[in-house]
Amino acid sequence: MSVKVRFAPSPTGKLHVGNVRTALVNWLFAKGQGGSFVLRIDDTDLARSTPEFEQGIEDDLTWLGLTWDERDNQSKRFDRYEEAAARLKASGRLYPAYETADELDRRRKVQLSRGLPPIYDRAALELTDEQKAAYEAEGRRPHWRFKLEGKRVSWEDLARGHAEVDTASMSDPVLIREDGLFLYTLPSVVDDIDMAITHIIRGEDHVTNTGAQIEIFEALGATVPGFAHMPLLVGADGAALSKRLGSLSISDMRDQGYEPIAITSHLGKIGTSDALEVAESVQTLGASFAFSKMGRSPARYDTADLDRLNAQALHVMSYETAQPRLAAADADLGEGFWNTVRGNLNKFADVVDMAKIVKGPITPVIEDAAFAEAALRLLPDVIDENAWSAWTNTVKAETGAKGKGLFMPLRLALTGQPHGPDMAAMAPLIGRETIVRRLKGEAA
């Protein structure tokens, strides 16, 4: 059986790290198995879905390297959902209910006060045709509930092992609202059947829903796919991340300078037994992915880890990969420059400041004029890769300065910064003429 999975986001907002972790794990599992990945836009809520958010979803996934093999929109498939609903109605599994939200809320409160579970009592199944007609005459429109069989539904979960849900402890789920809008469950099942989805991979907050969905698959005479329910994300402090997801949108992270491979490496490895290191590519992530590596505890999302992986991705980035971006940032000073400075980058945009150190002008920091004068007098005529060592040894012998007292004044004079790339490599890039001017205290 060829593996086929799907990611079905709603175009009602930006993709955030929670969404993307689900998309990523689906993609990694499919590609690791030589299977296919379907992007299915859940735009059945026509009032809230927008073309802008839909385009944003595509842009974010493409930027992350999560390309899809098939693509569809649920808004184009309403006829299929109507057909499935008609089949379920004809078999008695989908029935109309007329209670208002207030009436249902009062019933739940009464049930709780009596120590009973607050599940729907199926009162609608007792309605006569006359009572239904009376409700219709009042202007009420029914919502449609799926009649659960009230049994133990079990499956072998790829992430959790053996799983069971007792549908007798659940309310019959509403599949169609009073206004005729299909809720997520029925379109999702119908699409999974039509698209031959073999595995449904999502967060563990959907475990209970799976029991009802399996019954819908069976009621429609379809093969039930496999399931995997991943532990949810929490923050570094262990608190729920859901309320902060709005500030963790992928488009915002892109604007903040994060590398796509850092994001996918982070989301693909947290909560697993793999070392939290940046991957060579998203393809290599897929080749090494296995649900057996995934723990049962919530996965901790820590931006400090992401920052470390982002720097790591830049430190190993080749000049060939970086060159177009360097050119766009007016910071392409050649392969030697890139190889010198990349180990000091946290975000790619930092390279602009590194280029300024070479191109200037910068304001040198001269804390000891006499030391700077001596260093200038002893400066070699040729500044190559060996010049720094020879120069600093000569300055040390002349001034008696050593260690930080020797190297820091020279770094401050030549770069204006207390930290940065290896000065033996930077000095030839800066050039002798500029070094002379900076040692004199001139902006250059």
Distances (CA, A) of 61 to 1, 120, 263, 288: 26, 40, 12, 20
Element (H, E) at 143: strand 143-146
Q: In this structure, are residues 285 and 218 in contact, taking their beta carbons and an 8 Å threshold? A: no
What pLDDT does residue 241 have? 77
**pTM of structure:** 0.93
Please name the residues in contact with 145: beta carbons below 8 A apart, sequence gap of 6 or more. Answer: 94, 95, 97, 120, 124, 172, 173, 174, 175
The pLDDT of residue 246 is 57
Average pLDDT over residues 55-60: 98
Q: Would you place residue 371 in the very low, low, confident or very high pLDDT band (cuts 50, 70, 90)?
A: very high
For 225-268, how does the pLDDT look when each residue is reduced to its tens digit (9 = 90+)?
999 999 999 988 888 776 565 568 999 999 999 999 999 999 99
The answer for residues whose C-beta is within 8 angstroms of residue 294's C-beta and 6 or more apart is 159, 230, 231, 271, 272
Residue 379 CB burial class (10 angstroms; 0-12, 13-18, ≥19): middle
| The predicted structure's pLDDT at residue 242 | 64
- Under 8 Å between Cβ of 172 and 147: yes
Does the N-terminal peptide bond of residue 361 adopt cis geometry, omega within 30 degrees of 0?
yes
Look up residue 204 and give its amino acid.
Answer: E
Please, which residues have CB within 8 angstroms of residue 380's CB and are 6 or more apart in sequence? 387, 390, 391
Q: Please give the Cα distance from 278 to 311 (Å, whole number).
A: 9
- Assign 242 to helix, strand or coil: helix
Over residues 322-361, the pLDDT tens digits come to 999 999 999 999 999 999 999 999 999 999 999 999 999 9
CA-wise closest residue to 367 among 340, 392, 396, 404: 404
Pairing label, strands 143-146, 152-157: unpaired
> What's the rounded Cα separation, in Å, for the pair 416 and 437?
13
Which pLDDT score, from 0 to 100, does residue 293 have? 96
- Could you tell me if 352 and 333 are in contact, meaning their C-beta atoms sit under 8 angstroms apart? no
Amino acid letter, 280:
E
**Crossing angle, helix 432-439 and helix 404-415, to 10 degrees?**
110
Q: How many whole angstroms separate alpha carbon 227 and alpha carbon 1?
A: 15
Structure tokens at 57: 């979803």
What proportion of the chain, given as a percentage, has pLDDT over 90?
Answer: 96
What does the alpha-carbon distance between residue 231 and residue 239 come to, in Å, rounded to a whole number? 14
Q: At what angle do helices 260-269 and 17-32 cross, to 10 degrees?
A: 80
pLDDT in the model for residue 245: 59
Predicted confidence at residue 240, as pLDDT, reads: 79
Band the pLDDT of 377: cuts 50, 70, 90.
very high
Mark 98-125 as b/e (b = at least 16 C-beta within 10 Å).
bbeeeebeebbeeeeeeeeeeebbeebe
Q: Where are the beta strands (DSSP E) in 2-99?
A: 4-7, 36-41, 70-73, 94-97
Q: Work out the mean pLDDT of the chain and round it to a whole number.
A: 96
* The predicted structure's pLDDT at residue 105: 93
Residue-wise pLDDT tens digits, 61-117: 999 999 999 999 999 999 999 999 999 999 999 999 999 999 999 999 999 999 999
Give the lowest-confidence range in 16-20, 168-172, 243-247, 411-415.
243-247
